Amino acid sequence: MSQLKKPSVVGPLVIGCLVIVAAGASVYAGYQAHDNEKNINQVKGLVIENSNMLKSIQADITYHTSLLKKGGGADLQGSVAEALINIENDKVAEAQANLYKNWDASGESKDGHHMYGNPSARFTLINYSDLECPFCKRFHETPKYLVDSAKNGMVNWVWRHFPLSFHEPMASKAAMMGECVAQQKGSKGFWAFTEYWFTNSAGNGQGFAGSDKIPELFGLNKEQYESCLTDPVIIKKIKDDMQAGNVAGVTGTPATIVIDNETGKTETIVGAQPFAKFVQVIEGMAHPERAQAQETAPPAQK
């Protein structure tokens, strides 16, 4: 007797699973397609939006460019010009501040010469100098440092012009320029000018190409400055300095006469001597007993 076979459920189950998987895959594919389409549409929207923005910017540029080319756009041109002027003015103001910042202790001596330091100082350095002299250029910082470092304002520094013949005509021209800056800006302007000139000039009578910018750089009235350059009063002042130097025995630059205003004693230091030399001379004047003791001391035993 044959046995009846039990109906198999494996086949239907497998088929059912395949149907479910297929359906799931179809649903996932549908969602994915929907998401992709949505993303694509969003990207398209952004592209269109950015494109419109670029077109708007390009239109603005084209419009303003055409105005400038046609001579129109006065407001825009005016704004740009004003901004550029303000930038330039700020640069000039900064440059001027830098020129003057190291010379706050400037003034005039009793005889009307440019002085740096305490007017009541015990010691005065009368410095005969030539603005085209390379040794004067090297020396220029030494008297300033002496004044700045001296205790209780004990030292001041006075300028005397002594342009040398082999540096002419530029040496006298530079001296005139300095005095014409001082005419409008005082002794502080003069000292600032000396520093500026020594920094920029090639020396030995060569000057420098940018000297025509001095009125603008120092904030001067240009017409007044140019008129001053031929002023006989200024010319005489420089010649008087040279004559005083000749009387004092000055033959070259720099030459510095150290004066003890308390005792009246003087000593001339020739050339671009170092800081230590001036300290030695001033200390000797301030404490002559020490100098005498050193002179009379017996020689050291070998």
- Three-state SS across the chain? CCCCCCCCCHHHHHHHHHHHHHHHHHHHHHHHHHHHHHHHHHHHHHHHHHHHHHHHHHHHHHHHHHHHHHCCCHHHHHHHHHHHHHHHHHHHHHHHHHHHCCCCCEEECCCCCEEEECCCCCEEEEEEECCCCHHHHHHCHHHHHHHHHCHHHCEEEEEEECCCHHHCCHHHHHHHHHHHHHHHHHHHHHHHHHHHHHHHCCCCCCCCHHHHHHHHHCCCCHHHHHHHCCCHHHHHHHHHHHHHHHHCCCCCCCEEEEEECCCCCEEEEECCCCHHHHHHHHHHHHCHHHHHHHHHCCCCCC
Output the tens digit of pLDDT for each of the chain's 302 residues: 434 343 443 343 333 333 333 333 333 333 343 444 544 455 445 445 545 555 565 565 666 566 555 655 566 667 776 766 777 666 667 777 788 899 999 999 999 999 999 999 999 999 999 999 999 999 999 999 999 999 999 999 999 999 999 999 999 999 999 999 999 999 999 999 999 999 999 999 999 998 999 999 999 999 999 999 999 999 999 999 999 999 999 999 999 999 999 999 999 999 999 999 999 999 999 998 876 666 555 665 54
pLDDT score of 126: 98
CATH 3.40.30.10 fits 115-287, yes or no: yes
Q: What is the pLDDT of residue 99?
A: 87
pTM over 0.75: no
Specify the pLDDT at position 296. 58
pLDDT at 19: 32
Give the model's pLDDT for residue 26.
Answer: 38
Taking the domains of the chain in order of start, what are their residue ranges? 115-287
Check residue 72 and give its pLDDT: 53
